[in-house]
Amino acid sequence: MSLAAPLGLSARALREAILAGSFSVLEVTEAHLAQIAKHNSELQAFQRVDAESALARARELDAALARGEGNGPLFGVPVALKANMCVQGMETNCGSRILEGYIAPYTASFVQKLLDAGAVLLGVTEMDEFAMGSSGENSAFGCPRNPWDTQLTAGGSSSGAAVAVATRMVPIALGSDTGGSVRQPAAFCGIYGLKPTYGRISRYGLVAFGSSLDQVSPFAHTAGDLELVLEVLSGLDERDSTSLPLPAFEPERPAEAQRLVGLKVGVLKHELNADVAPEVLVQCQAQLERLEAMGAELMEIELPHLSYAIPTYYVVATAEASSNLGRYDGSLFGKRIEGDGSLTGMFEATRNGAFGDEVKRRILLGTYVLSAGYAEAWYGKAQRVRTLLRRDYAAAFEAVDVLASPTAPTTAFRLGAKKEDALAMYLSDLFTVPASLAGLPALSLPAGLTSNDTGCLPVGLQLVGPALSEGRLLRLARALESSQTSALPIPPLCTEIR
């Protein structure tokens, strides 16, 4: 590892280098801001960059270090947030016109934890409106580009955060994952993404989409950094009633952390595998063979209700969204549009004028599945199917320790390819949605690059484990990481990091 420049180092390595005096926090911050300045206009990862306050914060941290203070686990590490996370005094617009100019009155508890750990916030990244989407195209503002091929989507909805980490604008970014919004963009951009067990990280200060599904989820370019962020952010928070009453995540002890022998990995078998692109299957298969060579045992596993996951998710998530988004009507929340001057006219004009098409579609769907006379047939049934899926997982985890599948059925698709076809877009979440419905931890790790006439594109392998098994998922991810013969590939346009 070269210490000539701080760009491209992991959060752990950066912190160590700062504490060892190799770089000041200011140098680290400036280098990452320069990387953003170099690529952001083309890639549109960041919605807003707050260079001035980042530099001021960096100087403060350098001064603290000189006084012998400040040695947090993320000391001096540049980070980025998704635009649905509250930071007091900053705009939190969720990629939506309706919240344009909305200034958060408080700081999310997980953001506060990042800051308390010594992180330097560089800015806010672009996202699909209210986290609804799989391509970044539903933002009311910019649409991020995939750094491996700028004609392609970076995935979604945490699109900008994934691009920011993939291009080393920051070593760590936070996204939110409701049905795959961190895992799928991680796969499309060639980095790591972890959706923790539901309730692991407090949602206090994360703008709600589907409250029984939403989880704050980190991106990183090493498995070790995911572990570090989970350690910092997890733990009970009284301000979120769904936060698990548990202490913070503790990484596995080294002796345990190296053990792969005898670990049973279930390879997800399903007729829908037929829809998976062959080049994706080839890359995932290669990773599974690596695990096998390191002593893991592979066996095929079926989740009998898997094919119901997408329809179930689009009932549950839209129902919750229609209820959560009810507050944006121009009275207390949401940019008011007066309309015909009556109160209902104002509600109508505000919601009609300021929500994008996909959000409106979801509100309509969600209102329908909850409406009198239909709620039992739709919402009630979806909840029961959700239980069946949970039971499928419980049965699978009697036989295996983790389940492996591709993160997404294809590599990144072309921008525009699915924009007009909602169903095709929804189906790209085939493998990520089930673990969300069951509340289970799931990790997407880089599984190499395809090489064909369409170029070199990243593939993601997803690992899902029982509740609270993040340590095990990270153990497998680390084992695969250290067994690779070369370092994690970096998008070709990042010529400065090689």
- The piece of 27-35, 68-76, 171-179, 300-308 that touches ligand GLN (CB under 6 A) is 171-179
Q: Do 153 and 188 contact (CB within 8 A), yes or no? A: yes
Residues 200-259 that bind ligand GLN (CB under 6 A): 209
Contact 191, 161 (CB under 8 A): no
* Best CA proximity match to 99, nearest among 404, 363, 336: 336
Site membership for ligand GLN, residue 165 (CB under 6 A): no
CB 396 within 8 A of CB 136: no
Distance separating alpha carbons of residues 268 and 332, to the nearest angstrom = 46
Residue among 36 and 131 whose Cβ is closer to ligand GLN: 131
Strand stretches in 140-296, DSSP E: 172-177, 192-195, 215-220, 264-269
181 given a catalytic annotation:
yes
Closest CB 489 distance from ligand GLN, rounded Å: 25
Least gap, CB of 2 to ligand GLN (angstroms): 36
Is 160 an interacting residue with respect to ligand GLN (CB under 6 A)? no
Closer by beta carbon to ligand GLN, 123 or else 179? 179
Choose, from 109, 159, 181, 436, the residue flagged as catalytic: 181
Minimum CB distance to ligand GLN smaller for 92 or for 181: 181
72 versus 144: smaller Cβ distance to ligand GLN: 144
Query: Please, what is the angle between helix 25-43 and helix 51-66, to 10°?
Result: 160
Catalytic residue among 157, 159, 234, 469: 157
In the list 134, 139, 159, 312, the residue contacting ligand GLN (rule: CB under 6 A) is 134
Give least dist CB 426 to ligand GLN, A: 7
Dihedral sign computed on CA atoms, order 458, 463, 464, 467: negative
DSSP 376: I
Cβ at position 131, least distance to ligand GLN in Å: 4
Other beta carbons within 10 Å of 384: 9
Task: In whole angstroms, give the CA distance from residue 327 to residue 325.
Answer: 5
Determine, following the binding rule CB under 6 A, whether residue 96 of this chain makes contact with ligand GLN.
no
Question: Which position among 126, 177, 227, 470 is part of the footprint of ligand GLN (CB under 6 A)?
Answer: 177
Question: Is residue 480 involved in binding ligand GLN (CB under 6 A)?
Answer: no
Least separation, in Å, of the C-beta of 282 and ligand GLN? Answer: 25
Is 178 an interacting residue with respect to ligand GLN (CB under 6 A)?
yes
Beta bridge partners of 91: 103
Q: Is 449:491 a contact under the CB 8 Å cutoff?
A: no
Pairing of strands 46-49, 192-195: unpaired
Residues that bind ligand GLN (CB under 6 A): 131-134, 157, 177-181, 209, 317, 429
For the annotated catalytic residues, the residue numbers are: 82, 157, 181
